[in-house]
Amino acid sequence: MNNQLTKLNIFSIKGVQMRTFHITWLMFFVCFFGWFGLAPLMPTIRAELHLTKAMVGNTIIASVAATIIARLIIGKLCDTWGPRKTAVRLLLIGSLPVFFVGLAHDYMSFLLFRLAIGVIGASFVITQFHTSMMFAPNIKGTANAVTGGWGNLGGGVTNMVMPLIFAAIVGFGYTKGEAWRYAMIVPGVMMLIIAYLYYKYTKDTPEGNYDEIGYTKTQTKTDWSILSDWRVWALTMAYAMCFGMEITFDNVASLHFVDSFHLSQSTAGFWAGIFGFMNLFARALGGIVSDKVGRRFGMRGKGLLLAGVLSLEGCGLILFAQSGTLLVAIVSMLSFALFLKMSNGATYGIVPFVNTKNVGMVSGIVGAGGNLGGMIFGFLFKSSTITYVQAFTYIGYAVIGVALIILITRFQKQTVLKEAVDGGEALAGGMA
């Protein structure tokens, strides 16, 4: 791929590369808003629809289950249709259940809408694929981490903003049962706006769209041998432990703070939002460090970094689970959040180099792993015999176990694209 950028100036919108950079992270941000817009409102929804703990757990599982298959499909569509067409179509179709979830009036209909909304979580694969197209090897990890992190930031903003939108609607005289339904119109409208921006101002590659450069005719043969590549599955497990835990925490944090520390819905949403706000820099930090370590120590260094931050995430989760006061819970939450989000960035600092001819498929498989982890963790939080505290503890030990697997995995391979050592600073414009 020609004309890929070797520097990232986050304050620039000059050129198709930087326009695409900003629009693609904004697309994931907005999709996150729609995907998890219901999570901070669950205390109200739980009361109105008379949901049991098991029912709430099922809705959490449903919200991430559909994304597993969707990410695999979207990864392949990025390789064939191109990220631009894939993004626009996903936004248009995905906005429908976001708009209409307000029609749910019982547990089963609400569960089905949550399942349908989960499809828009596949937008992450588009973000990572499109960014990889626009930036050179020396900066891919950093660029992927920034777009992924700023997109994930939508989870934090959602937890803070949706309760405020809800409260404003109640202030206009609507009931709480009506307010959470009308609140979901906001992310639906946002998705339509981004669909227009994506269509109007992005290109599939720095040289043009797939159909303009004939890319689909020569570059999209899938190498199914990637399914036998152990490195792909190691990264899939790693992403299950970091991103899987992230989306699980986005789903249960408000309920956990309400039930364990007796906070109000808006206050619980605020602290849950702080967790998401760590994406403003933490995921990017993981990608930046991954690129710097890679330039000096190669793929082995990238793997060791990922193993290290995963281990610290697991330890932080165990400490959070044992928190006896709100203050300790918040401090330990911020600690494990830092390493969790750095793990996200470090994982996708490796992904683009595993199979450079099938970046979409690899991104899709690893991305699906994140949601698979979230679905599995959802069963722990659904259980009537396992408390939230126990669930966090078990997950912490599982994360440490996967860190050991990453530690012994050799990511370097002769067919892997050698990372460029030129290009200057990884990040311009003051981020460093």
DSSP states of 330-373: HHHHHHHHHHHHHHHHHHTTTGGGT-TT-HHHHHHHHHHHHHHH
Residue whose pair of structure tokens reads 């702080």 in the numeric block: 274
Structure pTM? 0.81
Give the Cα-Cα-Cα angle 400, 403, 407 (nearest 5 degrees).
Answer: 145
Handedness of CA 249, 254, 259, 263 (dihedral sign): positive
pLDDT digits (tens, 9 = 90+) for 25-44: 999 999 999 999 998 999 99
- 193: containing domain: 15-208+225-408
Domain assignment present for 333: yes
Q: For residue range 271-314, what is the model confidence (pLDDT) as tens digits?
A: 999 998 898 899 999 999 999 999 999 999 999 999 999 999 99
Percent of the chain with pLDDT over 70: 94
Q: Say if CB 250 and CB 276 are below 8 A apart.
A: yes
Length of the chain, please?
A: 432
- Condensed to tens digits (0 to 9), the pLDDT of residues 329-361 reads 999 999 999 999 999 999 999 998 888 888 888
In a domain, 432, yes or no: no
- Separation of alpha carbons 23 and 83, rounded Å: 12
* Residue 414 forms part of a structural domain: no
Is there a domain that residue 3 lies in? no
Half-sphere exposure of residue 306, counting CA atoms within 13 Å on the CB side? Answer: 39
Which residues face 9 on adjacent strands?
A: 428
Long-range contacts of 98-104 (CB under 8 A, 24+ apart): 98/34, 98/37, 98/184, 98/187, 98/188, 98/191, 99/184, 99/185, 99/188, 101/38, 101/181, 101/184, 102/180, 102/181, 102/182, 102/184, 102/185, 103/181, 104/49
- Average pLDDT estimate for 190-216: 92
**Dihedral pair phi/psi, residue 355, rounded to 5°:** -150, 95
pLDDT at 414 over 50: no
Domain count, the chain: 1
CA angle 137, 139, 141 (to 5 degrees): 90
Residue 262 within a domain: yes
pLDDT at 423 over 50: no
Inside any domain, residue 81 = yes
The four Cα atoms 323, 327, 328, 330 give a dihedral, to 10 degrees, of 90
* 188, 177 Cβ separation under 8 angstroms: no
Q: How far apart are CA 236 and CA 232, in angstroms?
A: 6
Unique residue bearing structure tokens 């792993």: 369
Q: What CATH number did the domain enclosing 148 receive?
A: 1.20.1250.20
Q: Does residue 241 lie within any of the structural domains?
A: yes
Confidence at residue 280, expressed as pLDDT on a 0 to 100 scale: 87
- Residue for token pair 């006896």: 324
Q: Give the tens place of pLDDT for each residue, 103-159.
A: 999 999 999 999 999 999 999 889 989 999 999 988 888 898 899 989 988 888 898
Report the distance separating Cα 145 and Cα 139, nearest Å.
10
Residue 90 lies in a domain: yes
Dmax (CA) for the chain in angstroms is 65
pLDDT reported for residue 220:
59
Measured distance CA(192)–CA(197) in Å, rounded: 9
HSE (CB half, 13 Å, CA atoms) of 276?
33
CB 152 within 8 A of CB 32: yes
CA-CA distance, 126 to 358, in Å (whole number)?
Answer: 13
In the structure encoding, which two tokens stand for residue 319, read together? 């400490």
Query: Rounded CA gap, 430 and 205, in Å?
Result: 26
Closest CA to 336 of 309, 358, 360, 357: 309
Contact 241, 398 (CB under 8 A): yes
Q: What is the residue-averaged pLDDT of the chain? A: 90
